[in-house]
Amino acid sequence: MQSRDQPRGELCVPSPYRVVDRTVETADTVTLAIAPVDSLARAWEPGQFNMLWMPAVGEVPISISGGVGGGATGGDRGGDGTVLLHTIRAVGAVTRALCALEPGQTLGVRGPYGRGWDLDAASGRDVVIVGGGLGLAPLRPVVHETLRGRDRYGRLAFLAGARTPEDLLYMSELGQWRARTDLQTEVTVDAVPGREWRGDVGVVTTLLPRIPFDPGRVVALVCGPEVMMRFVAAELLRQGVAPGDIQVSLERTMQCAVGSCGHCQLGSSFICRDGPVVTWERVGAAMGVRER
Amino acid sequence: MGDAVHPRPAVISRADLPALVDAIRAQGYALLGPTVRDGTIQLGELGALEDLPIGWGDEQSPGSYRLHRRGHARLFGWAVGPGSWKQMLFPSRERMWSADRTDDGFVIRTDDTDAAQAARKVAFFGVRPCELAAIAVQDRVFVHGAVPDRSYSARRERALVVAVDCGEPSGTCFCVSMGTGPSTGPGYDLALTELDDERGHRFLARGGTDIGAQLVRGVPHRDADARDHAAADAVIASATARMGRQLDTTDLPALLERTLESPRWDDVAQRCLTCANCTLVCPTCFCSDWVEVADLSGDHVERWRRWASCFTLAFSTVHGGTVRASARSRYRQWLTHKLGTWWDQFGTSGCVGCGRCITWCPVGIDLTEEVRALRELDRPGAAP
Amino acid sequence: MTTRSIADLLRDVGTLRDLPPDLLAVVSGCGRNVHFDTGTTILREAEPADTFFAVRHGRVALELFAPGRGEVMIETIGPGGVLGWSWLFPPYRWHFDAVALEPVQAIAFDGACLRGKCDDDPRLGYELTRRFAATLIDRLQATRLRLLDVYGDGDAIP
């Protein structure tokens, strides 16, 4: 239906997708597996996001948490006809509606958008992946991706933080990752009753000194609440990691996803287009200015 | 269109100007231009040349705008009104697509949108140099970005630009500081200079494109002579000398980047009402809300794009709250974007010096004054 | 184990990292290797604090016991971390329980002995106080960060 004087306008129109599976992650968070109804899914990179649309409710940016059935690559970079995973926390009208979707129901999807994690920069280096709360969602595919190309990296560590064990996403996968010897996985929560919890208690920054990475040859990939990312970046910088080697995934209001509507600006950056993954070198100064 | 060699500048008499309008219409263009409405000069569809603000002048100062009759019958003896050509290329409300629910999801229509229907050719008649510069700024945002905006691009392609040099700057104008006026820069199809002296009321016309040159050829005219050029130069020189405001742009992005915590932001926040007037009258502000509009049943849905303003709380709201909650941070965002980070994003200033934000600020906040104060406080040894 | 090997082991303890060799020797002299089985209560709230531990392997939980809630895990200390600073400041009593969550290997330091040496040698006293203060600040800031409840709900918006 695109006329020829609508250059690349199709990027701003959703395509119908169908929910093929739904996994309850926590009390307020679900992971939807969705597949295109009548189109082909576009290729995507870990760290990118889609705009998910609930007709008559609205549209929200949600990062891509993985894929299923993507063939040779194992599914975390999309391809023709792949299933996409989106982990969604019910916090507003649109996300509540999305979380309530059941297999068989449809939604609209446009994307993928934005710049994902720069794994080329991590080649030949140690990789420390730090996620907090819902911030695990865009990091899940990067854990898969680094494990798949494991020889390309030095030490590989994944640090996850959450409020309580019940708030942790991807519990069964976390268990599998903790059992691996080629990935150091540490999980910490803010507080927990009893002694059943097998992980740590404390903020995620306190786990960093345990990771024997080389500060001069490490790339850190960080996603979580902004305050958490500021503290993690500060700790990494203190340990001698260069600002350009710290990548963070930022959250800002996004409506167009193509750098046009202006809402997501942080200093010179349009987070939807220049991010959501940006280096600390690029945004650290701006993030240090209150209400920037 | 192209960059062909254009014939020598011509002179069209006031009496023959209607022929130019007729020629434009004959090419299939609807004529849009300035006209007096509600006590202001606004842009709209022109029926005839007589709809222009003939004989009107404007007096502008911070927070104030008044029209008055002048003792002559010039067509362009005024500066700029509250409206800008932005509203023609990037409408304040626009339907982008619509969708209807089906048994199995929804079907989206893009062929009934405002942009798709805005297929008519329009002539922008009387575009001021600062406004031509503003269009060029928005072209960088909407046409030359990574993802060209389909509706803006479609409208822009169909627009014929007839620019007019500025002879009567207002008290809030500072195009000279921004390098955008008062003489017309590149980007026009046809540029006019209104001359009204002992040799009569006439227009020096310069074609900027083939189509502009053709239009001139199609109406009664004579070749411009040295005295016409001298008269046009005098108009520009006079306007240049009468700028109402000045803005020192030296290292402006760097100045703003290092004064983010200046006490001046607290000062301006005491005055700013965060009403968003400045962003609405600004000819380059491009932010928008993408809004979901549904009928009661939810079966028919439309996606609308509406002008947004960084002065509203909702503008930067994320899950958990608003990023820029204080007036201080919102004014700072607007000014530092307009004059600073815009350079990084689009390779140009976001300000063209039209002065609208000063005139239409209900409390008369003057960005040239704010920058002067920031600069003053930034001097080594300046008392905070 | 020799004194020498304890000094080596202490190089992995962040709080004591880069301690001048002569001071490291003094501190090492007050340390001995210890082992705790899973579930061992290492420290108990309100009891005299005359020891601190540098954890080498395993994890230790700091707990508070609250009536009706049972034990609540406040923080865990893992390899390279230091457990206990109440030995350094009056009234020299523990504020929390500490329980081995896994088999724990640690170096235990005689706090009373170290306090005496710090009193005798202000340089040692300054170095240790400075280092423990830095560890305290890290813990305090981590605690403040948890006070923010950054993973919490915030105000839900449409």
What string of pLDDT tens digits covers the 384 residues of chain B? 444 445 689 999 999 999 999 999 999 999 999 999 999 999 999 999 999 999 999 999 999 999 999 988 999 999 999 999 999 999 999 998 999 999 888 998 887 776 666 668 999 999 999 999 999 999 999 998 878 888 898 899 999 999 999 999 999 999 999 999 999 999 999 999 999 999 999 999 999 999 999 999 999 999 999 999 999 999 999 999 999 999 999 999 999 999 999 999 999 999 999 999 999 999 999 999 999 999 998 899 999 999 999 999 999 988 778 899 999 999 999 999 999 999 999 999 999 999 999 999 999 999 999 999 999 999 887 765
A173 inside 8 A of chain C by CB: no
- Residue A139 DSSP symbol: H
How confident is the model at residue B303, as a pLDDT?
93
Domain boundary among B207, B241, B275: B241
pLDDT of residue A97: 97
Using an 8 Å CB-CB cutoff, list chain A residues near C154. 91
Q: For residue A59, give the chain B residue with the closest CA.
A: B292
Structure tokens at C21: 């060799």
- Whether residue B384 lies inside any domain: the answer is no
The pair of structure tokens assigned to A139 is 């990091």
Note whether B56 and B144 are same-domain residues. yes
3-state DSSP of chain C: CCHHHHHHHHCCCHHHCCCCHHHHHHHHHCEEEEEECCCCEEECCCCECCEEEEEEECCEEEEEEECCCEEEEEEEECCCCEECCCCCCCCCECCCEEEECCCEEEEEEEHHHHHHHHHHCHHHHHHHHHHHHHHHHHHHHHHHHHHCCCCCCCCCCC
Single out the residue of A286, A268, A271, A262 nearest to residue B342, CA to CA. Answer: A268
Q: Please give the Cα distance from B277 to B312 (Å, whole number).
A: 11
Give the number of domains in chain A.
2
- Tell me the backbone φ, ψ of residue C20, rounded to 5 degrees: -55, 140
Question: Do A142 and A281 share a domain, yes or no?
Answer: yes
> Could you tell me if residue A100 is inside a domain?
yes
Q: Are residues A151 and A106 in the same domain?
A: no
Same domain, A199 and A247: yes
Q: Do the chains contact at C145 and A231, CB–CB below 8 Å? A: yes
Q: What is the DSSP letter of A13?
A: S
Q: By the CB < 8 Å criterion, does C156 face chain B?
A: yes
End-of-domain residue from the set A82, A113, A144: A113
Task: Give residues with Cβ within 8 angstroms of B266, minimum separation 6.
Answer: B328
Q: How confident is the model at residue C154 (pLDDT cuts 50, 70, 90)?
A: very low
2.40.50.100, 3.30.830.10, 2.60.120.10, 3.90.1150.10: CATH of C3-142: 2.60.120.10
Residues A69 and A190 in one domain: no
Choose one of B222, B241, B260: the last residue of a domain.
Answer: B241
**CB of C148 closer than 8 Å to CB of A203:** no
- Rounded distance between C-alpha atoms, residue B355 and residue C57, angstroms: 69
Same domain flag for B195 and B298: no
Can you give the pLDDT at residue C55? 93
Write the CA distances from B230 to B17, B195, B235, integer angstroms.
Answer: 21, 10, 9
Let me know whether B68 and B150 are in one domain: yes
- B2 occurs within a structural domain: no
* Interchain CB distance below 8 Å, C154 and B319: yes
pLDDT exceeds 90 at position C147: no
Written in H, E and C, the secondary structure of chain B is CCCCCCCCCEEEEHHHHHHHHHHHHHCCEEEEEEEEECCEEEEEECCCHHHCCCCEEEEEECCEEEEEECCCCCCCCCCCCCCCCHHHHCCCEEEEEEEEEECCEEEEECCCCHHHHCCCEEEEEEECHHHHHHHHHHHHHHCCCCCCCHHHHHHHHCEEEEEECCCCCCCCCCHHHHCCCCCCCCCCCEEEEEEEECCEEEEEEEECCHHHHHHHHCCCCEECCHHHHHHHHHHHHHHHHCCCCCCCCCCHHHHHHHCCCCHHHHHHHHHCCCCCHHHHHCCCCCCEEEEEEECCCCCEEEEEEEECCCCCCHHHEECCEECCCCHHHHHHHHHHHHHHHHHHHHCCCCCCCCCHHHHCCCCCCCHHHHHHHHHHHHCCCCCC
Same domain? B137 vs B66: yes
Matching residue, tokens 């022929």: B19
Cβ proximity of C131 and C139 under 8 Å: no
Q: Does one domain contain both A194 and A149?
A: yes
Among A113, A139, A164, residue at a domain's last position: A113
Does residue B5 sit within a domain? no
3-state DSSP assignment of residue A66: strand
Residues B367 and B321 in one domain: yes
Nearest by CB to B345, from A11, A251, A268: name it. A268
**What's the Cα-to-Cα distance from B268 to each of A203, A285, B54, B281, B335, rounded to whole Å?**
39, 23, 38, 19, 11
**B198/B266 same-domain check:** no
Range of the domain at A66: 9-113
Backbone angles phi, psi at B93, to 5 degrees: -140, 130
Helix, strand, coil percentages for chain A (3-state, nearest 5): 30, 35, 40
Terminal Cα distance for chain B, rounded: 55
3-state secondary structure of A243: helix
Instruction: Answer positive or negative: Cα dihedral of B126, B129, B130, B132.
Output: positive
State which residues of chain A have pLDDT below 50. Answer: 1-10, 70-80
Task: State whether B27 and B104 are in the same domain.
Answer: yes
Bridge partners, residue A17, by sequence:
A36, A107
> What mean pLDDT do residues C109-118 have?
90
The backbone torsions φ and ψ at residue A112, rounded to the nearest 5 degrees and listed phi first, read -75, 155
- Looking at the structure, do residues A103 and A142 belong to the same domain, yes or no? no
Q: Same structural domain for residues B178 and B104? A: yes
Domain count, chain B: 2
Cross-sheet strand order for the sheet of C82-83: C31-36, C104-110, C51-57, C82-83
What number is the average pLDDT over the span C52-70? 89
Q: What is the dihedral of CA C12, C17, C23, C24, to 10 degrees?
A: 10
Distance from CA of B67 to the nearest CA of A (A): 34
CATH code where residue A69 lies: 2.40.30.10
Domain closes at, from B216, B241, B266: B241
Min Cα–Cα distance to chain A from C41, Å: 13
Q: Measure the CA angle with vertex C12, ends C8 and C17; round to 5°.
A: 90
Interface residue C150 vs chain B (CB under 8 A):
no
In this structure, are A148 and A277 located in the same domain? yes
Q: List CB contacts (< 8 A) between B319 and chain C.
A: 154, 156-157
State residue B352's pLDDT score: 98
Residues B292, B295, B297, B301: is their CA dihedral positive or negative? negative
Give every CB contact of residue B71 below 8 A, 6+ residues apart in sequence. Answer: none
User: Does A26 map to a domain?
Assistant: yes
Whether residue A1 lies inside any domain: the answer is no
Residue A2 domain flag:
no
ipTM for the predicted complex comes to: 0.90
Q: Which domain holds residue B368?
A: 252-378
B174/chain A closest Cα distance in angstroms: 25
Contact B311, B275 (CB under 8 A): yes
Cα B205 versus chain centre, distance: 22
C75: chain A residues, CB-CB within 8 Å:
201-202
Residue C123 reports pLDDT greater than 80: yes
CB-CB under 8 Å, B328 with A106:
no
Residue A165 DSSP symbol: G
- Least CB-CB distance to B105: which of A56, A106, A261? A106
* Domain chopping of chain C, boundaries: 3-142
CATH number at residue A170: 3.40.50.80
> Quick one: which of C28, C48, C152 has its CA closest to C95?
C48
Contact assignment for B315 to A9 by CB distance below 8 Å: no
pLDDT, residue A9, reads: 43
* Same-domain pairing of A162 and A272: yes
Domain-located, residue B383: no
